């Protein structure tokens, strides 16, 4: 069983259309699509909504209801200029990192580790801001792989983009990934994250991102997922 989670229908539309014998289910205000890839590979897709709480909620239901062997978190992301990524590129997460869990004071930002407040405590390991991710088999040499940051407030200035990317050695940011990785760690489920780049982070004004760029990123990551992983 393959689990797939995306924040919006746009980010999973093409994958949903590839399912056969599809069953549409609403659970606790979340939409799920269960079916088959081909004739034998079962899958369940969750459209969780935007943000950490929606992502954690959706991932928990997906795991408890459908018991996936692996969970794929797919969607779009904003790339930091230092990453070298371009709009439409696909990137794979090596780590997912909570980018704004911690303490921000006059002389800088301090992570949960600096505060000695683990988010997960297991018998032999404590996890603070960073969570390990599974790299899909055969993608060890994939060129666009690295750390992803999850934020509650999207970065809208070049200065903060530089600061965040350097602090965590990160490629891009999103609003759900670390929450999904957090839940998967607690539940003992392997998780991979694959995102298409919808924008390069820079100084911006209030307003939506370019719709055609978002669509191109969503299409590219779904095409990559279907052609190379399914």
* pLDDT tens string 172-228: 999 999 999 999 999 999 999 999 999 999 999 998 899 999 999 999 999 999 999
SS3 85: coil
Give the C-alpha distances (Å, rounded to integers) separating 7 from 45, 61, 80, 132, 193. Answer: 11, 14, 21, 20, 13
d(CA 19, CA 48): 18
Q: CATH code at 50?
A: 3.40.50.1580
- Bridge partners for 37 per DSSP: 41
d(CA 164, CA 171): 10
- Residue span of the structural domain in which 162 resides: 2-228
- Confidence at residue 139, expressed as pLDDT on a 0 to 100 scale: 86
d(CA 19, CA 43): 8
Q: Kindly give the interhelix angle for 177-187 and 52-66, rounded to the nearest 10 degrees.
A: 30
SS3 105: strand
What is the count of structural domains for the chain? 1
Averaged pLDDT score across all residues of the chain: 96
- Confidence at residue 141, expressed as pLDDT on a 0 to 100 scale: 86
pLDDT in tens, 72-117: 999 999 999 999 999 999 999 999 999 999 999 999 999 999 999 9
Judge whether residue 32 has pLDDT over 90: yes
- Report whether 97 contacts 168 (CB < 8 A): yes
- Bridge partners for 43 per DSSP: 2, 35
- Report whether 183 contacts 60 (CB < 8 A): yes
Number of other CB atoms surrounding residue 92 within 10 Å: 21
- Among 204, 214, 224, which residue's Cα sits nearest to residue 11? 214
Q: What is the pTM of this model?
A: 0.96
Residue 31: Cβ-neighbour burial (10 angstroms; 0-12, 13-18, 19+): middle
Judge whether residue 39 has pLDDT over 80: no
């Amino acid at each position: 069983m393959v689990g797939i989670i995306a924040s919006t229908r746009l980010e999973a539309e093409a994958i949903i259309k590839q399912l056969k014998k599809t069953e549409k289910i609403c659970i606790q205000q979340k939409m799920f699509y269960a079916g088959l890839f081909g004739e034998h590979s079962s899958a369940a897709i969750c459209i969780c909504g935007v943000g950490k709480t929606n992502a954690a909620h959706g991932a928990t239901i997906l795991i408890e209801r459908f018991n996936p062997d692996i969970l794929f978190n797919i969607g779009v992301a904003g790339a930091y200029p230092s990453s070298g990524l371009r709009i439409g590129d696909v990137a794979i997460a090596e780590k997912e990192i909570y980018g704004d869990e911690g303490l921000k004071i006059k002389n800088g930002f301090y992570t949960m580790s600096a505060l000695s407040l683990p988010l997960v405590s297991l018998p032999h390991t404590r996890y603070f801001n960073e969570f390990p991710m599974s790299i899909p088999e055969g993608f060890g040499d994939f060129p666009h792989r690295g750390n992803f940051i999850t934020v509650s407030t999207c970065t809208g200035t070049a200065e903060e983009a530089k600061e965040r990317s350097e602090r965590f050695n990160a490629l891009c940011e999103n609003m759900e990934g670390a929450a999904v990785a957090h839940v998967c760690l607690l539940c003992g489920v392997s998780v991979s994250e694959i995102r298409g780049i919808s924008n390069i982070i820079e100084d911006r004004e209030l307003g939506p991102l370019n719709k055609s760029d978002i669509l191109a990123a969503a299409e590219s990551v779904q095409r990559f997922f279907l052609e190379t992983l399914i």
